[in-house]
Amino acid sequence: MHPAPSVILFTVLSGLGFGFLAALGLGIVQPAGWAAFALWGLGYGLAVGGLLASTTHLGRPDRAWRAFSQWRSSWLSREGIAAVATLLMLAPVALSDWLGLGWSRWPGIIGAVLALATIGTTSMIYAQLKTVPRWNHWTTPAQFFAFALAGGAMLAGQGAWAVILLVILAASLVAHWYFGDRRFAEVGATMGSATGLGALGAVSVFDPAHTAGNYLLREMIYVVGRKHVAKLRVLALVLACLIPGLILLAVAHPMATAAAVLTHLIGAFAARWLFFAQAEHVVGLYYGKR
């Protein structure tokens, strides 16, 4: 699948944002005054920034509001609703923290649950697709939750929890790669089943359907950059999990936390790039490519 920068930015940033908003909503950190403004602002900034980035990959962003209508069948629609509901639900808590109004924290707890639901719906947009076997697996939601929770805990300054969650994140990434590498074969789609000619003999491409590119080849049959996969996987693990974990274990200081989060983000971008670039869509079978 084509690793579109807008979608990588969106999933990484809003995942981190919603993870952090959940922590703030639960009151794991309870900042006051301008510190509250800064922290809540960071959470909202990440979540909203990511959502805005995602609209840039639409063909008709002017109609994006229509995406709230199909919650009964569509995970993408549910995601939009969950995201907006989270942001609205948490707003009074953020306001109360900032201005010291002392309002009830209940909306914060509901908002935290909604934030987690948002992360779940984002992951299901990918995990539901039978056509992309690598994504169509429980390790996809596991990875998205682990990223959001570990990132949220780091931003909330929960050193010990963050380290535990980073270990879980590393495990979820390794599991996603381990199972992912086997998924396509497991699902069993082949050029033989795609063309239905497999019963007659071995199928191969004789003549391509078109000699120039098209939407399918650009969007779903992305085969660039796969040869560096092994190196990128190591890089993603080291940057997203290992180094931030070591920093947090060694120093407990806001600057150290910032360094850990930034390193983690770079690793997260690498991991998310791999998530897309490595995912093979079954339509590639018609073109003799995967």
Partner 1 sequence: MTCLPAKTDKKLGLAIDLDTCVGCNACVTACKGWNDQGYGAPLSDQNPYGADPSGTFLNRVHSYQVQPADAAAITVNFPRSCLHCDDAPCVTVCPTGASYKRAEDGIVLVNEDACIGCGLCAWACPYGARELDAVAGVMKKCTLCVDRIYNENLPEEDREPACVRSCPTGARHFGDFADPDSKVSRLTAERGGFALMPEMGTNPVNRYLPPRKKDALDASPLAPLLDIKATGFAGWLDRMLGKI
Binding site for partner 1 (CB under 8 A): 1, 57-61, 63-64, 66-70, 72-77, 80, 125, 128-132, 187-189, 191, 193-197, 199-210, 212-216, 219-220, 281-283, 286-287
Nearest to 241 by CA among 260, 225, 221, 224: 260
Q: Which is nearer to partner 1, 95 or 194 (CB)?
A: 194
Report the C-alpha gap between 201 and 29 in whole angstroms.
64
Smallest gap from Cβ 217 to partner 1, in A, equals 9
Report the C-alpha gap between 81 and 208 in whole angstroms.
42
Smallest gap from Cβ 130 to partner 1, in A, equals 5
Q: Which is nearer to partner 1, 89 or 125 (CB)?
A: 125
Residue for token digits 């069993």?
188
Q: Which is nearer to partner 1, 29 or 64 (CB)?
A: 64
Smallest gap from Cβ 236 to partner 1, in A, equals 23
Residue 272, token pair as written in the block: 């998310």
Note whether 212 and 169 are within 8 A (CB).
no
Smallest gap from Cβ 248 to partner 1, in A, equals 37
Residue 161 CA to its chain's centroid (Å): 20
Smallest gap from Cβ 216 to partner 1, in A, equals 5
Q: Which is nearer to partner 1, 210 or 228 (CB)?
A: 210
For the chain, the residue count is 290
Q: Which is nearer to partner 1, 130 or 226 (CB)?
A: 130
Separation in Å, CA 2 to CA 15, 157, 242, 273: 20, 35, 28, 9
